[in-house]
Amino acid sequence: MENEYKKLFNSLVDKNPSDKLFEKIILRIGKEEKMQKVKRRIAVFSLFLVISFFGFIYSFVMVQNALISSGFAQFFSLIFSDYNIITAYWQNFVFTLLESLPVFALVVSLSMFSIVLGLFAFLVKDIKFISSNNLIDKKHGF
Amino acid sequence: MDFKKNGTSKIIIVFLILGEIILLLLTFETGVIVGFKKADFSCDMDKNYGRNFAGMDFRFPDKTRFDGAHGILGQIIKIDENTIVMKDIDLSERIISVAGNVSIKKFKDDIKLSDLKVDDKIVVIGSPNSNGEIEAKLIRWVPAPMDNRNPPTENNNN
């Protein structure tokens, strides 16, 4: 009986955890924390993206109205209707366009557009980060 | 783009920065030139306002910005032999000098000054003179927008 017990305990494999387990757990915790941060950032960026997108649409309409009310659209259309005369007096024409350009509305609209593009780029980067991490997790069976 | 990977990255960054500085300076210079022209023209207009509109019942315009010196879009309020007085989109009156070589166009046709009527909408391209007037080079008649036209009534249809 005693010999059989000895045999049994001798044949058991040593189940000590590997030396790298602690490091793996710490890395995994760090990764999870980063994922949480990225997810929070995605939520905030999405909200700002929606707001800035509507802001951009509003500013775009503002530019359209400003182009019409300042006369820029009418002046610009002369290129198509009176091309020969416009080319003869191109300096006056260029000054007319510059003078009637709705600079403020354009600056607001372009700023909103750059904010939308910037937020979109950050959002895509974060979504890529999350999706790539999910793929790695699936591959390693987490 | 990871510019740090190759040796030319720093040169590209320097060129980009220089390009942006040049672009900024050009934009600034353009703004200065356009602003100066508008301010100069507005100053001439103000100096000659009494002379230009003597006897006419117009209030002095309450300006919040300078007038364009090279082009106007607006409505004719008076036509003289060589001048057109018009109301621009800021509702201030402007004088157009129609002396010399001026193209007056309506659709595809060349027309004369006498063909234009009070209340017609026109676009003018020209150059400013020292009297605060715009010497027209091109005058184009513009059709009134649809909402400004008189809708057909029963009397009109009959």
- Per CB-CB distance under 8 Å, the chain B contacts of A99 are 34, 37-38, 68-71
- Per CB-CB distance under 8 Å, the chain B contacts of A79 are none
Distance from A81 to chain B by nearest Cα, in Å?
8
Q: Is residue A2 pLDDT above 80, yes or no? A: no
Contact B125/A89, CB-based, under 8 Å? yes
Contact B71/A92, CB-based, under 8 Å? yes
∠ CA B118-B119-B123, rounded to 5° = 100
- Of the listed ranges A28-37, B26-35, B60-69, B74-83, the least confidently predicted one is B60-69
Give the span between the Cα atoms of B104 and A82, in whole angstroms: 11
pLDDT at B42 (0 to 100): 79
Q: Which of B68, B103, B140 lies nearest to residue A96, judging by beta carbons?
A: B68
Mean model confidence pLDDT for chain B? 80
pLDDT at A77 (0 to 100): 94
Q: Is residue B158 pLDDT above 70, yes or no? A: no
Q: What number of residues does chain B have?
A: 158
Q: What is the mean pLDDT of residues B98-104?
A: 88
Strands (E), B20-143: 71-79, 83-88, 93-97, 103-106, 109-110, 121-128, 134-142
Contact A100/B138, CB-based, under 8 Å? no
Candidates 3.40.50.620, 3.10.580.10, 2.40.50.140, 2.40.160.40; CATH matching B1-151? 2.40.50.140
